[in-house]
Amino acid sequence: MLSKSQARLFFVGGTIFFSVIFIALTVDTVRQMPALSNEDRMTEAVVRGKHLWDKSNCMGCHTILGEGGYYAPELTRVVERRGKEWIAIFLKDPAAMFPGERKMVKYPFDDAQRADLIEFLAWIGEIDTQGFPPDPDLALPVAAVAVRTDLAPPPPVFGTLCVACHAVGGKGGAVGPALDGVARRKTPEELDRWLADPAAVKPGTAMPKLPLDESTRAALVAWLSTLQ
């Protein structure tokens, strides 16, 4: 059993020891912050996007870097998952992409504001969070597919929008099903109807209604029809 003097010495010594450790860890964290947060790439567009994020109270529903609401999807690495073009179209009119489903507010952002907000989200996604938060479990279980090099070049819209969710030849997203062999499952007419209005073909589908004009949709259908 410790005497009063020994207990006092133990308390004071322990307090000093752990205070030194805490201060050292704090100094080390502050020292690493510029590199981890890619501070050198914080452009004026990123700053404007941050102000727009705060002004619009996006954190009331969304979470970034572990802070915010949990009503809507976590957005720390949303640009990596979806791509800038997909996000820009979604922000323009969320309900148009997911008719009758999405409750995302249609904010009156102009093109420049949407671009600033996307740059802010892109910057957030490049912060080295050392594995936090973990990637969301969005991917469908799919069989491994060998990367193909014999495919004709896809139309630009596939690389900017479709690839955010779908893979072809082993490359692309895994949110939606891989499109290898889609030409064996769907006729060009069926593909065209699906791309024009997915919810009309399959109510409740997670596939968004993309703003594709007829020529873009025709080019996409023609390319998908080669995926035997």
Indicate the domain borders of the chain: 8-37, 39-125, 156-224
CA distance 134 to 13: 39
Q: Which residues of 164-176 are buried (b: 16+ CB within 10 A; e: fewer)?
A: bbbbbbeebbebb
CATH classification (class only), 156-224: mainly alpha
Burial class (CB in 10 A: 0-12, 13-18, 19+), 159: middle
**H-helix segments, 149-206:** 156-160, 182-185, 188-196, 198-201
Residue 46 in this model has a pLDDT that exceeds 90: yes
Please state whether beta strands 171-172 and 167-168 pair in parallel, antiparallel, or not at all (unpaired): antiparallel
Report how far residue 150's alpha carbon sits from residue 126's, in angstroms, rounded to the nearest whole number.
Answer: 33
185-208 pLDDT tens trace = 999 999 999 999 999 999 888 899
- Architecture, CATH, for domain 39-125: Orthogonal Bundle (1.10)
> In 3-state terms, what secondary structure has residue 145?
coil
Evaluate whether 39-125 and 156-224 have a shared fold: yes
pLDDT tens figures, 101-112 = 767 889 999 999
